[in-house]
């Protein structure tokens, strides 16, 4: 077992450490969590799965309004929120605010027993980031051990971090107003010193999506596409497909496919050698998880997995339908809990299929549209979808949004930079794009996972290209009229309304929203030229 000397922490300004558990084994973490009050279950339903630790009621979700980025003068120009016109969810913080939150984190973490986990973000050795996480809560160490790429013993021996994360989730920023911050909670990144500080939020997603945000800064500047998508390939390791989508739109569910090999469920890069995962684990939503329709995710809930915010009855049976703590119930597990994965490195050739998952809460978009290259750019930049309940604090019902590149909260550069890199790679591999609505239609219900899976199968086996098609007005989408295993009555969204005029009215409203949202991209010739690919009233 690699050694870790406490004096390393002193270098970070963390003093008086009483004990350090450095990259502890799962067994040790399990014991530590139990001491912290987490419950391990090994009876009832869980017997079938193996013991799993369950933590409940600790967080409510990610806090985008508390996320701040600190840049030095040389890196400032590259960040797109510096332009008012394109302002995204990430706000700039001053050097003073940075110094203050770092001080709070150092104080919180001093004189404590600490967990230090070293992991990699990025499966490619030449572009990965070596990340050191320092925290005082055992399950957070477990979470990052599940989610990041676990170094070998040898790699741990001479691990030199490129990025350090100080997780001071028990502290608060009391003087946040003075510092120009939004609340007692802060998630702050210093892109120059390569550090992240987390204060007053226990949400593990801040560490996972935090390092993703940093990859989204560094990789595109090297000409590598950095993408909020899941990815899989066929059993020969070919025919890669990527699935973009905001949280809860189906990246994990649809990429976990027994017929295919999983590359990863959430964050990927695409360079000249192909598509690669940033992570070493998956983070699945488990609300209403059903053993029959999602057997692979269900079976991944076994020893070393970490369940969050589900309720467990006296017999140890998990109630996956209970949303009393949050709708954002989750399980994190190391990727090898899924049987069909790409091994030993989560990497596959350039993608042939690019799928945009949009959960349309208005019930307007067809369940699948075959996009032209110009529509691909327009709909990628628009990123129309819904924020689904739970993942973000304050979101309690599906809320329509335009989230550029299907991941606006995680972008640091201008959206056109991500579009540029994606399109370059797609043109080289001859990839085609599809817009898949995993949200609602005129029935008022969410499109079934069964129908969506049928659609994905038809995209992946190419049968969608032989299907008869028609055009949908206003959007000019080409949609298939029949696909094997998919209810033909849903393929044209107008057929799901009692009266097609109802669709028409909603479609007009949505088209208007697209047009309004896209104005921000029309400041140059390239953006103006894309308007023709968008909806028309
Ligand atoms: N048609 C559908 N396609 C995909 N997921 C669906 C669909 N209908 C309902 N769901 C549910 O939506 C959630 C999708 O979550 P997940 O796959 O974890 O999303 P992501 O990985 O994009 O955050 C799951 O709880 C899944 O059961
Ligand atoms: C973990 C998150 O999302 P996803 O469901 O995309 O993994 C998040 O947005 O905090």
**ipTM for the assembly:** 0.98
Helix 373-382 to helix 415-429 angle, to the nearest 10 degrees? 150
User: Which pLDDT value is given to residue 63?
Assistant: 87
Write down the residue that tokens 């609340």 correspond to. 183
User: Which pLDDT value is given to residue 494?
Assistant: 98
Say how many Å lie between the CA of residue 247 and the centre of ligand 2: 5
Nearest CA owner, ligand 1 atom 4: 250
- Residues of 57-73 as b/e, b for ≥16 C-beta within 10 angstroms? ebbbbbbbbbbbbbbee
Q: Which of 172, 251, 253 is nearest to 209 (CA)?
A: 251
Instruction: List the pLDDT tens digit at each of the 537 positions of the chain.
Output: 667 888 999 999 999 999 999 999 998 988 888 787 776 554 334 434 444 566 655 556 888 889 988 877 666 556 655 444 455 566 788 899 999 999 999 999 999 999 999 999 999 999 999 999 999 999 899 999 999 999 999 999 999 999 999 999 999 999 999 999 999 999 999 999 999 999 999 899 999 999 999 999 999 999 999 999 999 999 999 999 999 999 999 999 999 999 999 999 999 999 999 999 999 999 999 999 999 889 999 999 888 888 888 887 777 778 899 988 888 999 999 999 999 999 999 999 999 999 999 999 999 999 999 999 999 999 999 999 999 888 888 888 889 999 999 999 999 888 999 999 999 999 999 999 999 999 999 999 999 999 999 999 999 999 999 999 999 999 999 999 999 999 999 999 999 999 999 999 999 999 999 999 999 999 889 999 999 999 999
Starting from the CA of residue 331, give the closest ligand: 1
SS3 state at 153: helix
User: Which pLDDT value is given to residue 59?
Assistant: 58
User: Which pLDDT value is given to residue 361?
Assistant: 96
Catalytic one of 252, 332, 382, 403 = 252
Q: Which residues pair with 67 in a beta bridge?
A: 187
Task: Quote the tokens at residue 335.
Answer: 């990727």
7-35+63-202 CATH pick, 3.30.465.10, 3.20.20.70, 3.40.1390.10, 3.40.449.10: 3.40.449.10
Whether 232 lines ligand 1, by a CB cut-off of 6 Å, is no
Q: Which residues pair with 283 in a beta bridge?
A: 332
Say how many Å lie between the CA of residue 206 and the centre of ligand 2: 9
Q: Which residues pair with 241 in a beta bridge?
A: 232, 353
Whether 286 lines ligand 1, by a CB cut-off of 6 Å, is no
Catalytic one of 67, 128, 208, 228 = 228
Say how many Å lie between the CA of residue 302 and the centre of ligand 1: 21
Nearest CA owner, ligand 2 atom 10: 205
Mutation pick for ligand 1 pocket among 248, 326, 338 (CB with most ligand atoms within 8 Å): 248
Give binding residues as ranges.
62, 203, 209, 228, 245-253, 266, 294, 330, 446-447, 452
User: Which pLDDT value is given to residue 78?
Assistant: 60
Distance between CA atoms of 335 and 300, rounded to whole angstroms? Answer: 9
Whether 7-35+63-202 shares its CATH topology with 225-280+345-533 is answered: no
User: Which pLDDT value is given to residue 312?
Assistant: 79
Ligand 1: which atom is nearest the Cα of residue 253?
Answer: 17
Instruction: Give yes or no: 194 in active site.
Output: no
Q: What is the DSSP letter of 362?
A: T
Domains of the chain, by residue range, sit at 7-35+63-202, 225-280+345-533
Say how many Å lie between the CA of residue 391 and the centre of ligand 2: 6
Contact 266/282 with Cβ under 8 angstroms? Answer: yes
Give binding residues for Mn(2+) as ranges.
209, 228, 266
Say how many Å lie between the CA of residue 204 and the centre of ligand 2: 10
Starting from the CA of residue 385, give the closest ligand: 1
Distance between CA atoms of 246 and 305, rounded to whole angstroms? Answer: 23
- Predicted structure pTM score: 0.95
**pLDDT, tens digit, 9 for 90 and up, residues 365-412:** 999 999 999 999 999 999 999 998 888 888 888 899 999 999 999 998
**pLDDT, tens digit, 9 for 90 and up, residues 342-352:** 999 999 999 99
Contact 391/469 with Cβ under 8 angstroms? Answer: no
Mutation pick for ligand 2 pocket among 266, 267, 289, 438 (CB with most ligand atoms within 8 Å): 266
Say how many Å lie between the CA of residue 309 and the centre of ligand 1: 17
Whether 452 lines ligand 1, by a CB cut-off of 6 Å, is yes
Distance between CA atoms of 62 and 202, rounded to whole angstroms? Answer: 9
> 225-280+345-533 adopts what CATH topology?
Phosphoenolpyruvate Carboxykinase; domain 3 (3.90.228)
Say how many Å lie between the CA of residue 325 and the centre of ligand 1: 19
**pLDDT, tens digit, 9 for 90 and up, residues 109-158:** 999 999 999 999 999 999 999 999 999 999 899 999 999 999 999 999 99
Catalytic one of 128, 142, 145, 209 = 209
- Provide, for the chain, the percentages of residues in helix, strand and coil under a 3-state DSSP scheme, each rounded to the nearest 5: 35, 25, 40
Instruction: Give yes or no: 266 in active site.
Output: yes
Catalytic one of 67, 260, 268, 330 = 330
Nearest CA owner, ligand 2 atom 1: 205
Instruction: Give yes or no: 337 in active site.
Output: no
Starting from the CA of residue 447, give the closest ligand: 1
Instruction: Give yes or no: 330 in active site.
Output: yes
Instruction: Give yes or no: 247 in active site.
Output: yes
Give binding residues for substrate as ranges.
62, 203, 209, 330
Catalytic one of 67, 102, 142, 251 = 251
Starting from the CA of residue 367, give the closest ligand: 1
Task: Quote the tokens at residue 401.
Answer: 């949004």
């Amino acid at each position: 077992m690699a050694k870790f000397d406490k004096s390393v922490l002193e270098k970070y300004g963390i003093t008086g450490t009483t004990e350090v558990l450095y990259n502890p084994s799962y067994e040790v973490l399990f014991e530590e969590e139990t001491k912290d009050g987490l419950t391990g279950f090994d009876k009832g339903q869980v017997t079938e799965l193996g013991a799993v630790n369950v933590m409940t009621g600790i967080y409510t979700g990610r806090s985008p309004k508390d996320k701040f980025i600190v840049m030095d003068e040389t890196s400032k120009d590259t960040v797109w929120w510096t332009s008012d016109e394109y302002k995204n969810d990430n706000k700039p913080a001053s050097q003073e605010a940075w110094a203050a939150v770092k001080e709070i984190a150092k104080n919180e973490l001093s004189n404590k027993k600490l967990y230090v986990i070293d992991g990699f973000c990025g499966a490619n050795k030449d572009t990965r980031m070596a990340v050191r996480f320092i925290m005082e809560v055992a399950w957070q160490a477990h979470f990052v051990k599940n989610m990041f790429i676990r170094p070998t013993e040898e790699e741990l021996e001479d691990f030199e971090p490129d990025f350090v994360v100080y997780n001071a989730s028990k502290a608060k920023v009391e003087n946040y107003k003075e510092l120009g911050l939004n609340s007692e909670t802060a998630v702050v990144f210093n892109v120059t010193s390569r550090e992240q500080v987390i204060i007053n939020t226990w949400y593990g997603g801040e560490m996972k999506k935090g390092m993703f945000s940093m990859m989204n800064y560094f990789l595109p500047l090297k000409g590598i596409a950095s993408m909020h998508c899941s990815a899989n390939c066929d059993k020969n390791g070919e025919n890669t497909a990527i699935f973009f989508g905001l949280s809860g739109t189906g990246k994990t569910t649809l990429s976990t496919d027994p017929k295919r090999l999983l590359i990863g469920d959430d964050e990927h890069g695409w360079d000249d050698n192909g598509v690669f995962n940033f992570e070493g684990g998956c983070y699945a939503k488990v609300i209403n998880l059903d053993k029959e329709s999602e057997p692979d995710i269900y079976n991944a809930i076994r020893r070393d997995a970490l369940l969050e915010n589900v309720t467990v009855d006296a017999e140890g049976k998990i109630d996956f339908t209970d949303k009393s703590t949050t709708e954002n119930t989750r399980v994190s597990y190391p990727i090898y809990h899924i049987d069909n994965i790409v091994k030993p490195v989560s990497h596959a050739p350039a993608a042939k299929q690019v799928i945009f998952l949009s959960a349309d809460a208005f019930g307007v978009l067809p369940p699948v549209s075959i996009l032209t290259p110009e529509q691909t750019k327009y709909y990628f930049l628009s990123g129309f979808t819904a924020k689904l309940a739970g993942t973000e604090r304050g979101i309690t019902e599906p809320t329509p949004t335009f989230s550029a590149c299907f991941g606006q909260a995680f972008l640091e550069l201008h959206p056109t930079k991500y579009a540029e890199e994606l399109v370059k790679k797609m043109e080289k591999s001859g990839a085609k794009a599809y817009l898949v609505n995993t949200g609602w239609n005129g029935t008022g219900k969410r499109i079934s996972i069964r129908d969506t899976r049928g659609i994905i199968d038809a995209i992946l086996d190419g049968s969608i290209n032989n299907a008869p098609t028609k055009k949908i007005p206003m959007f000019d989408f080409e949609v298939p009229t029949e696909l094997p295993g998919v209810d033909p009555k849903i393929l044209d969204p107008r057929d799901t309304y009692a009266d097609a005029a109802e669709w028409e009215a909603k479609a007009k409203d949505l088209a208007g929203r697209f047009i309004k949202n896209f104005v921000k991209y029309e400041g140059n010739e390239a953006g103006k030229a894309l308007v023709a690919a968008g909806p028309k009233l």
